[in-house]
Amino acid sequence: MDNSTTLTVIGSPFDQAMMQRCLQLAYQGMGKTSPNPLVGAVVVKNGTIVGEGYHPGIGHPHAEVFALNQAGEDSVGATLYVNLEPCNHYGHTPPCSQAIIEARIATVVMGMADPNVTASGGKERLEQAGITVMVGVEEHACRELNAGFIQRVLYQRPFGIFKYAMTLDGKIATTIGHSAWVTDVAARNRVYEQRSRCDGVIIGGNTVRQDNPYLTTHGKSDHNPLRIIMTRTFNLPPQARIFQTDEAATLVLTETENVEQQKTLEQKGVEVVQLSPLTPKAVMQYLYQRGLAKVLWECGGTLGARAINEGAVQTIMAFIAPKIIGGVTAPGPIGELGLTQMNEALILEQMNWEQLDNDYLLIGKIAQSFWEDKL
């Protein structure tokens, strides 16, 4: 169920369907394009798709080029649909705006303008060449798909998502720390799907010691995010599952120098980096420099609260199970935020609900006014 604000509809139903097809194509690059955006393109001639393409990764041709090449001579007088404004600069590849002009496309329909001033200007160049341009078809969906790219461009940080699973009475584990499993299979599969959409997933040392997670997509996708551990003490069990790097890479961020522990982990293929101060804000700055666009926080409540307070989280994903476990000392999903009055509570925006068999998933955005000035 979508409870988000009603949006202005731009374009015909056919335009919207073609843009949705662009998004489907773009999704095929999920987890492989960062720091580049996810882009899909479709060429339509006389109501029929004659060319399609998506951007598979940095250094490869852009979606528009693949679509135009597939369309060939059918591009002449055709309409090009693309979810992001065609680039207008020389980067790893030539500008797509020039390729579109040379293909003699008549109309370009794009989902959103490019927020990157270095690459933008494609719309104006196309219009100067006599091409009709429409902007804003399925814009909300286009912006959601590239939330990570937009966050990088505007704030020089990855987009942060804090995910947790809790019982109906707000517990993420029992009083003795047992947490397998709060939710059922459908909800856990949804988590694996979300991991496949992210470049990195972050946990703290306590989660490694208590839960011993894999943090992979469990075969649901061929893309696994970079698994990131924040640990001040470097007190980590060397045999933890997260240090099995055949399937997915692991990065340990620590303030503590431990030569023997570091050598042991590096022999397993684990990357170890000293970072001080080891805070969510500093970690997100570092991950931006490494090219990550979207990060999933799967940590406990203490680190999660710090990530929220430091502006490292833009979206909350709360999985809620119809279970009651009780326990005064049983942990909740979010630690101390420093809020003492109910009118200070963070109110999520653009709410969506999903039912996953017996469980529910609530997705909402933290108000931009809360996190923007913390970056």
Task: Check pLDDT > 50 for residue 4.
Answer: no
Burial 269-298 (b: 16+ CB within 10 A, else e): ebebeeeeebbbbbbbbbbbeeebbbbbbb
Task: Check pLDDT > 90 for residue 111.
Answer: yes
So what's the pLDDT on residue 296? Answer: 98
Task: Check pLDDT > 50 for residue 28.
Answer: yes
Task: Check pLDDT > 60 for residue 2.
Answer: no
Both tokens of 153, joined, read 């461009």
Q: What is the pLDDT of residues 60-76, one digit of tens each?
A: 999 999 999 999 999 99
So what's the pLDDT on residue 8? Answer: 77
> Of residues 152 and 257, which shows the higher confidence score?
152
Q: What is the pLDDT of residues 212-222, one digit of tens each?
A: 999 999 998 88
Q: Provide mean pLDDT across the span 13-21.
A: 97
So what's the pLDDT on residue 121? Answer: 86
Q: Note if 64 is an active site residue.
A: yes
What sections of the chain are H helices per DSSP? 13-27, 63-71, 96-102, 122-128, 139-145, 147-155, 185-196, 205-211, 259-267, 280-289, 301-309, 368-371
So what's the pLDDT on residue 118? Answer: 76
Active-site residue among 64, 138, 139, 298? 64
Task: Check pLDDT > 70 for residue 3.
Answer: no
- Is residue 31 very low, low, confident or very high in pLDDT (cuts 50, 70, 90)? confident
By the 10 Å C-beta count (0-12 exposed, 13-18 middle, 19+ buried), 18 is classed as: buried
Strand order in the sheet with 349-356: 271-274, 250-254, 226-231, 200-204, 294-297, 159-167, 315-321, 359-365, 349-356
So what's the pLDDT on residue 91? Answer: 66
186 vs 195: CA distance, rounded Å: 14
The mean pLDDT value of the chain amounts to: 94
- Is residue 374 very low, low, confident or very high in pLDDT (cuts 50, 70, 90)? confident
- Is residue 25 very low, low, confident or very high in pLDDT (cuts 50, 70, 90)? very high
Q: What is the pLDDT of residues 182-235, one digit of tens each?
A: 999 999 999 999 999 999 999 999 999 999 999 999 998 889 999 999 999 999
Preceding peptide of 297 cis, ω within 30°: no
So what's the pLDDT on residue 92? Answer: 66
Both tokens of 108, joined, read 């370009």
Task: Check pLDDT > 60 for residue 328.
Answer: yes
